[in-house]
Structure 1
Amino acid sequence: MYFEVSERQVLDASDFAFLLENSTSAFDYGENESNFDSPPCAQDFSLNFDKAFQPALYSLLFLLGLLGNGAVAAVLLSQRAALSSTDTFLLHLAVADALLVLTLPLWAVDAAVQWVFGSGLCKVAGALFNINFYAGAFLLACISFDRYLSIVHATQIYRRDPRVRVTLTCIVVWGLCLLFALPDFIFLSASRDQRLNATHCQYNFPQVGRTALRILQLIAGFLLPLLVMAYCYAHILAVLLVSGGQRRLRAIRLVVVVVMAFAVCWTPYHLVVLVDILVELGVLARNCGLESRIDVAKSVTSGMGYIHCCLNPLLYAFVGVKFREQMWRLLMRLGCSDQRGPQRQPSSSRRESSWSETTEASYLGL
C-alpha cells in the first residue's frame, strides 16, 4: 500500500526529485529520504513486484477474511445472551479483522493502478486500516490477560457485572486505537507522485513524524502485545504442565498455537521495518540493492501479517468443539444443513467460551 510508503514531504523544486520514494508495505511510515545527498534508487523491480503480488494477495485475503470473520461474528451474535468475557473479546476481534480486510481491495487498486478514490476515502481507509490493526493486537492481549488471571491467579475480574467491565475494556481499546489513528485523518491525502506519474494515498508531513509513527506502531502495535501474550501464556503453560492431564495437554497445544500464530505472522514484517528504520536514520549505510530487497520484503512480510486476519477465525473459534456445534445449529436454523451433525451433552449453566477445546479447557478460561 502506498499510504504509508510513498508519503513524502514536499519541499522545494531542488529537493523534489529526491523525495517520493516508493515502497510496498501497508505499515511503512517513510522511506530513506533522510539521505538527500544521494540520488533516489530505481524502484522498477519493487513496483512491478507490487503490481503483480499485492492485488492477487489482497483479493484472496479479502474473500477469506470476510467469510471467516463474518462466520465467527454470526455465531457469537447468535449466542450473545450467554457470551463469556473471552467470547466478547473474540467478537470484537472478528469485527476488527473484518474491517481491516475490507480496506484491502482499495489498496489492491492502489498497487495495481493508482489511488482513484479521492482524499476523503484515503483518510477513512488509512485510519480504518490502522485502527483495526491496533485493535487486533490489543484485543489479543486482553484475551491473554483475562485467561492469565483466571488460570494462574484464579481471579475472574469479569464475573461480577461482566457486561459492564468487558464493555468498558473494549471502549478503552477502541479509544486508544482511534487516538493512534488521528495522524491518518489529519495527514493522509490523495496526492500526485510526479516521479511515478501516478496518484497515491500518502502522508504529507515531516520525516521525523513518519519515523515516530513507525516506531510507535512497532512498539505499541506489536512488541507490547507480544510481550503481554508471552508473559501470560508462559505462566499459563507452567500451571497446566504442573497439573497435567490429557485434556490440559490439549489446551497447552492450543495456547502454543495462539502465541506462535501472532508471532510468526507479524515478526518478519516488523523485523524488516526495523531494518528500514535503521537505514532511514543513517545507522545502516544506504544501498540501492538493500533498499530494493527491503521493499520486496515489506510486501511479502506485510502479506504474512494480513494472513493472520484470516487465521484468527481458525485459531480462536473453529478449533473449538462448542463453536463448531453452535455453527452447525446456526446453519440448521438457516436451513443450510440437515439434522445430522455433531451432538453434545447439554452444557452446564456455567458460561463457556465458544472456542473451548474441551469442557475442562473452558473451565480453565481457554
Structure 2
Amino acid sequence: MSKDTMSNNSMDNCTISQENYAFVAVYSLVFLTSLVLNLTALVIFFRSAKSRSHTTVYMTNLALADLLLVLTLPMRIYYHLGYKLLSSRLCEILGLVLLVNMYGSIFLLTCMSFDRCMAVCFPMSSRVKEARKKAPFVCLGVWMLTIGASLPVYISKEIKETKSSLICFGNSPIYATQPGAVAATLTVGFTIPLTTMLVCSFFMIRAIDRSTVAKMKMINSPKIQRMVAANLTVFLVCFLPYHLLLGLLPKYSNPTLCTAFHYSFLVACLNASLDPIAYYFTTETFQDKVDMENVWRMLPKHNHISDKKQQSEVPLNT
C-alpha cells in the first residue's frame, strides 16, 4: 500500500460523532453574531459608497465572504443536532462553499494589510496611489483564485455514497485533504498570507512611529499598534490551529489529533464573527454612520474620556 493510499485512508477514518452540542452552540453563536454584524457592515458600506476608501472596498468583499461562509452553518447545526443524514453531494458542496469563503477571507485580509502598508509607508507615491485604485480588480482576482483553485480538485474527486461519505460534516473534507491540496493550502493559503501580514505590520508600525505626525502626537500611535496587533492575533488564533493540524493529520493520524482537527475547524469559523469587530468597527466610515462614539460614551466607565482620545486614525482608513 502506497503512502498516499495510507494517507487517504487515515483521513477517511478521521470522523467525529454526529450529535455534538458543543458544535451546535458555537456554530449557532457564530451564525447569529456574524449574520447581524456583517449584514450591518454591508448596509453601512453600500450606503457610504461615495466616500468609500480603497480599504473599504476590501472590507466590503470581506464582509460578503464571511456572510456567505456563515450561511452554510445552519445545515451544520442541523446535522450536529442529530437529525437524519444529508446527501454526501450536498455535504461536499456546502463544505466547499465554506472553505472557498474562508480562504477568500484570508486573501482579502492579506490584501488589506498590504494596502494599508503601502498607504502608510509611501503616502506621497503616485504609483502607489494609482495601484490602490485597482482594489476592485484585486478583489475580483481573489474570488477567481479561491473558486478556480477549489473547483478542479472537487470536480476531479469522485464522491461515492459510502458510509464514510455519509458521515457528512463529521468527516474530513474529501477535496481539501488530498496530498497536493494540503501542500498548496499550507503554502499559498496560509504561509504566504501570514508572512505578508507580519512583514506589512512590521513596516507599517515602524513607518507610523517614525512619522512627523506621530512625533507631534497628532495621531494615537500606541492605539494603532494595538489595532495592528489585535488583527494579527485574531488571524493567528483562528487560522493557525487548523492549518497546523491539517499538516500533521495525514502523517500522524490518531483519534486525539483527529478530534482536535475538527475543533480547529470550528475555531477557524469564529473569524467570521471577529472580523467585524477587528476591522469594520475601527474605520471612520463605519463609526460616523452608526455614531459609535455616542454609544461608547454611554458606557459608565467611559463617561469621562477626554476629547484628546479622538485623535485621527487616517493611516488605517485611507
- TM (norm. structure 1) is 0.69
**Alignment check: 8 A CA contact 1:146 1:156 kept:** no
Q: Which residue number in structure 2 is paired with residue 215 of structure 1?
A: 183
**Alignment check: 8 A CA contact 2:120 2:204 kept:** yes
Once the two structures are superposed, residues 197-251 of structure 1 have per-residue CA deviations (whole angstroms, 9 ceiling, x without a partner) of x4537799799x7121122222222111111100100111112233443612211
**Alignment check: 8 A CA contact 2:54 2:135 kept:** yes
- Is 1:152 aligned to residue 129 of structure 2? no
CA distance in 2 between counterparts of 1:89 and 1:148 reads 14
Amino acid at match of 1:236: M
Q: Which runs of 5 or more residues in structure 1 are unaligned?
A: 1-18, 22-28, 35-39, 281-290, 330-339, 344-356
1:268 maps to which of 236, 241, 247: 241
- Is 1:91 aligned to residue 60 of structure 2? yes
Q: Which residue number in structure 1 is paired with residue 280 of structure 2?
A: 317
Once the two structures are superposed, residues 44-75 of structure 1 have per-residue CA deviations (whole angstroms, 9 ceiling, x without a partner) of xx426x62322222122111111111111111
Amino acid at match of 1:178: I
**Alignment check: 8 A CA contact 1:150 1:365 kept:** no
CA distance in 2 between counterparts of 1:109 and 1:190 reads 22
- Is 1:167 aligned to residue 130 of structure 2? no
**Alignment check: 8 A CA contact 1:126 1:184 kept:** no
Q: In 2 relative to 1, CA 114–279 (structure 1 residues): closer, same or farther, beyond 3 Å?
A: farther
CA distance in 1 between counterparts of 2:265 and 2:247 reads 13
Q: In 2 relative to 1, CA 169–258 (structure 1 residues): closer, same or farther, beyond 3 Å?
A: same
Identity %: 22
CA shift for structure 1 position 195: 6.4
CA shift for structure 1 position 296: 1.8
Structure 1 or 2, whichever has the larger Rg, is 1
CA shift for structure 1 position 76: 0.5
CA distance in 1 between counterparts of 2:113 and 2:173 reads 37
Once the two structures are superposed, residues 134-153 of structure 1 have per-residue CA deviations (whole angstroms, 9 ceiling, x without a partner) of 11011111111111111112
CA distance in 2 between counterparts of 1:204 and 1:304 reads 16
Q: In 2 relative to 1, CA 33–310 (structure 1 residues): closer, same or farther, beyond 3 Å?
A: closer
Once the two structures are superposed, residues 288-346 of structure 1 have per-residue CA deviations (whole angstroms, 9 ceiling, x without a partner) of xxx111122112222211111100000101234542231249xxxxxxxxxx9479xxx
Q: In 2 relative to 1, CA 188–313 (structure 1 residues): closer, same or farther, beyond 3 Å?
A: farther
1:360 maps to which of 293, 301, 312: 312
Greater CA drift, 210-219 or 169-178:
210-219
2:202 maps to which of 221, 228, 234: 234
Q: Which residue number in structure 1 is paired with residue 17 of structure 2?
A: 47
**Alignment check: 8 A CA contact 2:157 2:175 kept:** no
- TM (norm. structure 2) is 0.79
SS of match in other structure, 2:122: coil
**Alignment check: 8 A CA contact 1:131 1:181 kept:** yes
1:132 maps to which of 86, 96, 101: 101
CA shift for structure 1 position 97: 0.4
Q: In 2 relative to 1, CA 295–199 (structure 1 residues): closer, same or farther, beyond 3 Å?
A: closer
Residues 275-294 of structure 1 mapped to structure 2, 5 A cutoff: 275-279=248-252, 291-294=254-257
CA distance in 1 between counterparts of 2:173 and 2:242 reads 24
Q: Which residue number in structure 2 is paired with residue 116 of structure 1?
A: 86
SS of match in other structure, 2:270: helix
CA distance in 1 between counterparts of 2:227 and 2:259 reads 33
Q: In 2 relative to 1, CA 143–71 (structure 1 residues): closer, same or farther, beyond 3 Å?
A: same
- Is 1:299 aligned to residue 267 of structure 2? no
Greater CA drift, 174-183 or 90-99:
174-183
CA distance in 1 between counterparts of 2:179 and 2:9 reads 9
CA distance in 2 between counterparts of 1:118 and 1:206 reads 13
SS of match in other structure, 2:161: strand
SS of match in other structure, 2:204: helix
Amino acid at match of 1:303: L
Higher helix share: 2
Residues 342-353 of structure 1 mapped to structure 2, 5 A cutoff: none
The list of structure 1 runs, each at least 4 consecutive aligned residues, that deviate by more than 6 angstroms after superposition, is: 201-207
CA distance in 1 between counterparts of 2:173 and 2:317 reads 46
CA distance in 1 between counterparts of 2:291 and 2:159 reads 45
Q: CA RMSD in A?
A: 3.6
**Alignment check: 8 A CA contact 2:11 2:250 kept:** no
Q: Which residue number in structure 1 is paired with residue 10 of structure 2?
A: 32
CA distance in 2 between counterparts of 1:188 and 1:66 reads 32
Q: Which has the higher contact order (CA 8 A, sep 6+)?
A: 2
